[in-house]
């Protein structure tokens, strides 16, 4: 007899494994704005805390005093430059070529040194302006400018920076005003150094300095 046909095993249907769902980052516009607002607020508070630190006041005092010294040095160099040019002109009329060339070279050296002092002042004033702008941002314009010392500081720093940048192009009365403004900076710088001095801060009442820096915090 013929052998029985082989028994076929039953077929088991296997379903294809579905891929794991890809996680999606569901960021709603409102959540994004909230996160940005929280970050901005943390940054504002951190900046405000930094501005009130004693080390910040010390650094600002050093910068202001450095600017005062640079302004005084620039004035002295400018006067020396004028004196050398005048002496060179007198030597030229006397046909003293050696003396004329000597004082012309001296005048040029003084002018170069004066320009370096101006560059240093621009750098310091730029830093001080950033500090002022940070104060406006952390306190708000209304609160910042309600304090006379801060408002005066902002006006003097910003105007001094502008005058230093355009000084070489000024002529006539505008140049005279710019020259006189340097003496205002010297007086203001001396006052600022006193206001931010860590030594004198303990004797100032709260609110006397910039942003209430005086006294204990």
Mean pLDDT, the chain, integer: 82
pLDDT digits (tens, 9 = 90+) for 13-30: 565 665 555 555 555 666
Q: What is the mean pLDDT of residues 71-97?
A: 92
d(CA 43, CA 210): 20
Q: What is the pTM of this model?
A: 0.73
Per-residue pLDDT, 79: 92
Task: Please determine, for residue 142, whether its predicted confidence score (pLDDT) is greater than 50.
Answer: yes
In whole angstroms, give the CA distance from residue 200 to residue 41.
32
**Rounded average pLDDT over 161-182:** 86
């Amino acid at each position: 007899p013929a052998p029985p046909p082989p028994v076929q095993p039953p077929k088991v249907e296997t379903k294809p494994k579905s891929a794991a769902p890809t996680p999606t980052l569901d960021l709603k516009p409102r959540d994004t704005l909230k996160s940005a607002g929280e970050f901005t607020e943390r940054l504002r508070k951190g900046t405000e805390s930094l501005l009130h630190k004693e080390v910040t006041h010390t650094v600002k005092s050093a910068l202001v005093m450095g600017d005062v010294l640079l302004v005084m040095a620039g004035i002295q160099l400018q006067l020396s430059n004028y004196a050398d040019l005048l002496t060179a002109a007198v030597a030229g009329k006397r046909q003293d070529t050696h003396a004329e060339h000597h004082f012309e070279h001296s005048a040029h050296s003084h002018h170069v040194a004066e320009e370096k002092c101006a560059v240093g002042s621009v750098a310091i004033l730029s830093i001080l302006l950033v500090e002022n702008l940070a104060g406006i941002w952390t306190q708000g314009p209304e609160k910042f400018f309600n304090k006379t010392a801060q408002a005066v500081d902002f006006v003097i720093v910003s105007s001094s920076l502008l005058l230093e940048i355009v000084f070489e192009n000024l002529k006539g009365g505008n140049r005279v005003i710019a020259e006189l403004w340097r003496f205002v900076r010297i007086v203001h710088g001396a006052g600022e150094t006193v206001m931010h001095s860590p030594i004198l801060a303990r004797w100032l009442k709260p609110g006397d300095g910039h942003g209430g820096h005086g006294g204990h915090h």
